[in-house]
Amino acid sequence: MTTTAAKKQLHRIDLIFKHEDDCKEILRNAFSRSDQEIVNEMVNSGLKGRGGAGFPTGLKWKLAAESDEKEKYVICNADEGEPGTFKDREILSRVPHKVLSGMAVCAKIIGAQKGYIYLRGEYKFLVPDLNKELGKFHDILDDLGLDFRVEIFLGSGAYICGEESALIESMEGKRGEPRNKPPFPSVRGFKGKPTVVNNVETLAHSYTILKFGAKKFRDLGVKDSRGSKVFSVSGDTPIPGIYELELGMTVQDFVDDFSDGDCKAVQVGGASGFLVPRKRFGKTTIGYEGKLTGISLPTGGSMMIFNSSRSMYNVLNNYLEFFEEESCGQCTPCRVGCQQLLKGIRAVKRGEKPASYLDQLLKLTETMKLTAKCGLGQSVANSFSSIVENFREEMIY
Amino acid sequence: MDFQEKLVQNLVSKYGRDRENLLPILQGVIDQERYLSEEVILKIAKEMSIPAAHVYGTASFYSFLDIEPRGKYVIRVCKTITCAMKGKNQIILAIEDFLKIKVGETTIDKKFTILQTNCLGWCHKAPAMLINDEVYTELTTESVVDILREYKAKE
């Protein structure tokens, strides 16, 4: 990697992709410690779900471990469908043994005998290599005496199945429609049994924590956003790709590093995330604090850069087409809301509706945020309001 | 016993009759036939002893489980934001021009279908497309025609 003297570069972390093949030793060591000790280590690390929602991982494992049920499951969520995200595929193809080790340790703690990787259909080409890796891994588990097997379950092209309860419905052979929560999967998940659903990257981080201890992980990042995060960088950048960076950076730091200088906005967290306009670059950090205020943005790692030549109307139109198609259609606020938002911005653009109609659409997104059943319908408001409020004139003219 | 019936029976005996095996079974039919016909849905329902409406309900939910006839090679061009920014429209025009069909259509010889799809996860190498399960990235109007020419030469 080249650096120019004048340019400050963000600290590249090399934990996730660092090639290590000592997973047998890591597992042997983990299995020799008490379950309580490992759970504490995970909790102390401050690791939060890397799919984007940011639920504390240690707590998720603890909740599932507390259940008396005999049958339990560990599921690795590899249904990476958020626009602008491609890190999970890279992790699964480059360091699959770290993900599998995370699953095995989780299985040992909660008492699961069976695990699944829910792999999106778009990544079907990974299956042969992953199966080879699974064969090797199962041999290691046999040597160590852990009764746990992992299978791949393929998705079939539905963004909503990245939502954990929709993912479980899909695995049960049904339409991928999210369930009412509670109960959460850690209480009642796959086949009604306690189930831990963790993102690919989350599981890979748990390997790092087991290897180096909670402290090394905790030393990275800021207050409530500990550790590193794998970012998927795309759009108008000379260096698109995958980067592991520390949490807590400002969008300005990010742009200084990844933009060609002509950047007018950055979409943080994909279509369901927020658009940050240039004037807010310095004030917005990437992490989990102040989740709802938009000052610090949680993310699954999707960072899309838009240069000054891009029409933000086209960007929003593209997102809304995406949501309209990917809404599962189960609840009215999301099903009808997405359609009306798309129709609405098109009508304003064509002059069939007055500019003030945008305010009505903003109210509609507020309603969706309050009444939609799952994160999909609730988060349409994020990109919609952040684009319409900051680039209103582009919506109209 | 016709081919379809045999296919369904083989898949059901491979995966099992429980409802949670429905998706792999439907995917198995897609691998062979590229779409799920009404007849195949009825056969699966009968074989697994679940209502045909449930099979259809699941099948019609997923974008990769087509319920309309498709060509042997299903082309899915990513249309989500980064691919859109990096010229997927030109790619589609090049494909349409080469195959002489529009998006959503299948060639008369039933060899190719052109579809658009949502984010494939190759935003850093846009524009991208799938042909069945194969991924092609960083497409240009020339490279996409070269790729299709190879498929055209295949049986």
The pLDDT tens digits of the residues spanning A344-397 come to 999 999 999 999 999 999 999 999 999 999 999 999 999 999 999 999 999 999
Residue B141 pLDDT exceeds 90: yes
Query: Does the distance separating the beta carbons of B19 and A158 come in below 8 Å?
Result: no
Query: Does the distance separating the beta carbons of B126 and A86 come in below 8 Å?
Result: no
> ipTM of the predicted structure?
0.97
Share of chain B above pLDDT 70, in %: 99
CATH class of the domain defined by A23-218: alpha beta
Fold that domain A221-307 belongs to in CATH = Ubiquitin-like (UB roll) (3.10.20)
The reply to whether A121 touches chain B by the CB within 8 Å rule is yes
The reply to whether A383 touches chain B by the CB within 8 Å rule is no
Interface of A with B in 209-228 (CB under 8 A): none
Query: Does the distance separating the beta carbons of B64 and A157 come in below 8 Å?
Result: yes
**Average pLDDT of the residues in A212-221:** 90
Question: How many residues belong to chain A?
Answer: 397
The pLDDT score that the predictor gives to residue A290 is 52
A268, β-bridge pairs: A274, A303
Residue A187 pLDDT exceeds 60: yes
Residue A2 pLDDT exceeds 70: no
Distance of CA A191 to the CA centre of its chain: 24
CATH class of the domain defined by B73-153: alpha beta
Fold that domain A312-396 belongs to in CATH = de novo design (two linked rop proteins) (1.20.1440)
* Residue A294 binned pLDDT confidence (cut-offs 50, 70, 90): very low
Residue B136 pLDDT exceeds 50: yes
Please write the tens of the pLDDT for every residue from A72-81.
999 999 999 9
- Lowest average pLDDT, out of A51-55, A145-149, A193-197, A269-273, goes to A51-55
> Which residues from chain B sit within 8 angstroms of residue A236, using beta carbons?
85
The pLDDT score that the predictor gives to residue A52 is 81
* Residue A297 binned pLDDT confidence (cut-offs 50, 70, 90): confident
* Residue B155 binned pLDDT confidence (cut-offs 50, 70, 90): confident
**Average pLDDT of the residues in B28-47:** 97
**Average pLDDT of the residues in B148-152:** 97
Which residue in A168, A146, A173, A162 sits closest to A30, CA to CA?
A146
* Residue A8 binned pLDDT confidence (cut-offs 50, 70, 90): low
> Which residues from chain A sit within 8 angstroms of residue B119, using beta carbons?
81-85, 159, 322
Higher-pLDDT residue of A2, A231: A231
Mutation choice for B interface testing from A82, A92, A93, A124 by most B CBs within 10 A: A124
Please write the tens of the pLDDT for every residue from A19-57.
777 899 999 999 999 999 999 999 999 999 988 888 999
Name the residue ranges covered by the structural domains of chain A: 23-218, 221-307, 312-396
The pLDDT score that the predictor gives to residue A3 is 45
Nearest CA in chain B to A311: B85
What average pLDDT is seen over chain A? 93
The pLDDT score that the predictor gives to residue A291 is 47
Please write the tens of the pLDDT for every residue from A374-388.
999 999 999 999 999
The reply to whether A178 touches chain B by the CB within 8 Å rule is no
Which residues does A393 contact at the CB level (< 8 Å), separation at least 6? none
The pLDDT score that the predictor gives to residue A288 is 79
Share of chain A above pLDDT 70, in %: 96
Residue A16 pLDDT exceeds 80: yes
**What's the token pair of residue A36?**
């309580």
Name the residue ranges covered by the structural domains of chain B: 3-61, 73-153
Please write the tens of the pLDDT for every residue from A83-100.
999 999 999 999 999 999
* Residue A152 binned pLDDT confidence (cut-offs 50, 70, 90): very high
Secondary structure of chain A in the HEC alphabet? CCCCCCCCCCCECCCCCCCCCCHHHHHHHHHHCCHHHHHHHHHHHCCECCCCCCCEHHHHHHHHHHCCCCCCEEEEEECCCCCCCCHHHHHHHHCHHHHHHHHHHHHHHHCCCEEEEEECHHHHHHHHHHHHHHHHHHHHHHHHCCCCEEEEEECCCCHHHHCHHHHHHHHCCCCCCCCCCCCCCCCCCHHHCCEEEEEHHHHHHHHHHHHHCHHHHHCCEECCEECEEEEEEEECCCCCEEEEEECCCEHHHHHHHHCCCCEEEEEECHHHCEEEEHHHHHHCEECCCCCCCCCEECCCCEEEEEECCCCHHHHHHHHHHHHHHHCCCCCHHHHHHHHHHHHHHHHHHCCCCCCCHHHHHHHHHHHHHHHCCCHHHHHHHHHHHHHHHHCHHHHHC
SS3 A44: helix
Please give the full DSSP string across A135-182, using - where no structure is assigned. Answer: HHHHHHHHHHT---EEEEEE--S-GGGGSHHHHHHHHTTS---PPPSS
Residue A146 pLDDT exceeds 60: yes
**What's the token pair of residue B57?**
């309900």
**Average pLDDT of the residues in A109-136:** 97
**Average pLDDT of the residues in A277-290:** 87
The pLDDT score that the predictor gives to residue A225 is 84
Closest Cβ opposite residue B118 in set A233, A242, A322: A322
